[in-house]
Chain A
Amino acid sequence: MSATRTKAVLEVRHLTTGFKTDRGVVTAVDDVSFDLYPGETLGVVGESGCGKTVTSKSIMRLLPEHLTIYGPASEVRFEGENLAFASEERMRRVRGDKVAMIFQEPMTSLNPVFTVGWQLDEALRYHTDLDARGRRQRAIEMLRLVEIPEPERRVDEYPHQLSGGMRQRVMIAMALCCEPDVLIADEPTTALDVTIQAQILQLMANLKERLSTAIMLITHDLGVVAQVCDRVLVMYAGRVIESGTVAEIFHAPRHPYTRALLDSIPKSGARAHKKRLPTIPGIVPSLFELPAGCRFQDRCAYKERRCVDAEPGLEGALGGRQVRCHFPLDGGAA
């Protein structure tokens, strides 16, 4: 592991996020706890709907407040301060200063009616004491850093004038403007070509290298996780179901879900060519119809009576190897 275990910059404890809906309250994220250390990349994986985005938006407190209910035990500690119930004013200060976020769809965080330069300037005005000329200089530097061609010209353009890959890089430039301690990247490369993805992953790696930024990388691309993450959190139906180092998760998965997810990726090489892929039958259960026992039971090849009767607890120490399963696999090679 590359992270030196100094002190966690972000400590999440018992994070529980519910939504009011017209069919009652649903719990999208259920008792999620983890630590994030300076200079490490934590991967968060799981199928769509497992609660990855809700987790990251809960940390940033970017969910619609009138529809969202945080469990009373929820803690989101940045450098010791619990932000789970902090005021909106305090959160505005934290976002983009201590913590920055990159989303899959850059247009949700770029304002279409302002130029790229204006938006970078706003972040810089808030977080630095540079004068107007200095800020413009810095904005252009940041665009150059994220490899936007002709940054002197692009700085005066509007988001719609840029390609998707460029917008994503502008959003990263915005996130980097404030040299955050924590970067939360939610599917930052999902809609992009692998060639652009490689560029963006490299930028994130540089940031981690240069500033020891802690990165929480949400993705459903397990190849990306294998290549860039130090530790991994696997989520299923709002729960953490497994955690460990990237080597442990890939080489010795203990939860049947993790194992099945890894198996379903197409492999290269003649042995796998044109062979049927192992699949996970069915889909993630609806939050309205969660079973009483293990949430993965209906899709699990190892289901037993106990799995129906009681939900397994998350065994193992926080930050180490954890698994939520009554009958964990022995962790042999996948």
Chain B
Amino acid sequence: MSADALLEVRDLVMHFPVRGGVLNRVQRRVHAVNGVSFDVRRGEVLGVVGESGCGKSTLGKCLIRLLSPTAGSIRYEGTDLAALGHGDLMPFRKKMQMVFQDPYSSLNPRMTVREAVREVALFHGVVSRDAADAYVSELIQKVGLRADAADKFPHEFSGGQRQRIGIARALACKPDLLVADEPVSALDVSIQAQVLNLLMDLKDELGLTVVFVSHDLKVIEHFCDRVLVMYLGNVVEELDCERLHADARHPYTRALLGANPINDPADRRPLTVLEGDVPSPFTLPPGCAFAGRCPVVEPRCRAQRPPLELKTCGHAVACLLEPGA
């Protein structure tokens, strides 16, 4: 166990049974997360990137036990959350909170901002009833909303402001870990920049650890310390964001980088186009999940699933074609 790990995730698996037929039996399983291992270090921002359906949200929900994983362990300061039942989880709930892409759907339309934030703070007992109002007002200002926002309803706010409400609510119980699932994906770049700056400030001020899920490599690269690149429920590469462009080695990571349009008309290049479709999550191929779309695939890739191997310090790649450390 590394000393600075807040979360140690090992061989995490999440399969969703799909029921059907007259007897409502489990007919098949969605292999959403297929055995991933990594650490979330205290105080870092860990990015998770990959195409839609690759299991990012499922992974995020497993981390904070909104879902019960099918197998594997999630150690939080030594305690395996995956093994805990509902009651034993309670003390951990307030340590870990989630921010969603669409805060609107997670906010009760009939509750004012004040009520929504206070509810969380009181439920987790981080503040007394008497002190709650002052606490909520402070938090509302901290996320950059005006004081008079407290008594308004969610529909009275713009998308960016709603995301601030979602963040205030998540922070109300003073968590250590924030899992932010596509928190800026629905926002215009101008507003996205406001929310990213806010998250950066709050992270520094409150000493948060953040798992930041996004399908947007530009945002991940800017905002995160390290990134996990996911493909069909697997982590295919793990590396420092500062070295993403220079060092990415997995053909999938390279393809993602190559498909991302660069913001400079003087630097035009053909965007990387991947042939083929993502395999079905119901039946995983025996070898590398990316083999069907990989531009450098070899026959052995279809026979053997490549493990995620450390190549150099802090850089792990799951590809048979990559030489070891």
Contacts of B308 in A (CB 8 A): none
Closest CB of chain B to A297's CB: distance in Å? 16
Closest CB of chain B to A253's CB: distance in Å? 12
A332: interface (CB < 8 Å): no
**Interface segment, B11-19, B117-125, B175-183, B266-274?**
B266-274
A227: interface (CB < 8 Å): yes
**Interface segment, B21-29, B105-113, B129-137, B252-260?**
B252-260
Closest CB of chain A to B194's CB: distance in Å? 5
Residues A266-300 near B (CB distance < 8 A)? 266-270, 272-274, 276-281, 283
Is the beta-carbon distance between A223 and B262 smaller than 8 angstroms? Answer: yes
Is the beta-carbon distance between B263 and A197 smaller than 8 angstroms? Answer: no
Residue of B nearest to A270 (CB): B242
Task: From known contacts A220-B188, A250-B263, A279-B193, infer whether A198 and B273 are also in contact, taking CB-CB under 8 Å.
Answer: yes
Of A149, A251, A264, A273, which one neighbours B193 at CB under 8 angstroms?
Answer: A264
Residues B92-117 near A (CB distance < 8 A)? none
Contacts of A109 in B (CB 8 A): none
A48: interface (CB < 8 Å): yes
Contacts of A278 in B (CB 8 A): 193
Is the beta-carbon distance between B217 and A194 smaller than 8 angstroms? Answer: yes
Task: From known contacts A197-B259, A227-B262, infer whether A149 and B158 are also in contact, taking CB-CB under 8 Å.
Answer: no
B33: interface (CB < 8 Å): no
Is the beta-carbon distance between B265 and A48 smaller than 8 angstroms? Answer: no
Task: From known contacts A266-B223, A273-B241, infer whether A283 and B274 are also in contact, taking CB-CB under 8 Å.
Answer: no
A137: interface (CB < 8 Å): no
Q: B47-81: contact bitstring with A at CB < 8 Å (1 yes, 0 no)?
A: 00001100000000000000000000000000000
Interface centre among A202, A220, A267, A283 (most CB of B within 10 A): A283
Interface centre among A201, A250, A264 (most CB of B within 10 A): A264
B152: interface (CB < 8 Å): no
Is the beta-carbon distance between A193 and B192 smaller than 8 angstroms? Answer: no
Residues A108-156 near B (CB distance < 8 A)? 149
Query: How many A residues, CB 8 Å from partner?
Result: 45
B261: interface (CB < 8 Å): yes
Q: A167-192: contact bitstring with B at CB < 8 Å (1 yes, 0 no)?
A: 00000000000000000000000000
Closest CB of chain A to B210's CB: distance in Å? 12
Contacts of B196 in A (CB 8 A): 266, 277
A267 to B273, CA, bound (A): 22
Contacts of A266 in B (CB 8 A): 193, 196, 218-219, 221-223
Q: Please, could you name 30 A-B residue pairs with CB atoms under 8 Å apart, sorted by A?
A: A47-B188, A47-B190, A47-B191, A163-B277, A193-B52, A194-B217, A194-B256, A195-B255, A195-B259, A195-B273, A195-B274, A198-B273, A221-B261, A222-B189, A226-B268, A228-B261, A229-B265, A250-B263, A250-B265, A261-B189, A262-B263, A265-B218, A268-B221, A273-B221, A273-B242, A274-B200, A277-B193, A277-B197, A278-B193, A280-B193
Q: Which residues of A contact B (CB under 8 A)?
A: 47-48, 149, 163, 193-195, 197-199, 201-202, 220-224, 226-229, 246-247, 250-251, 260-262, 264-270, 272-274, 276-281, 283
Q: What 9 additional pairs, Cβ within 8 angstroms, besides A226-B265, A267-B222?
A: A163-B277, A193-B51, A220-B189, A222-B263, A251-B265, A265-B263, A266-B222, A268-B244, A273-B221
Q: Which 6 A-B pairs have the closest CB atoms?
A: A266-B222, A223-B261, A277-B193, A198-B271, A264-B193, A280-B190
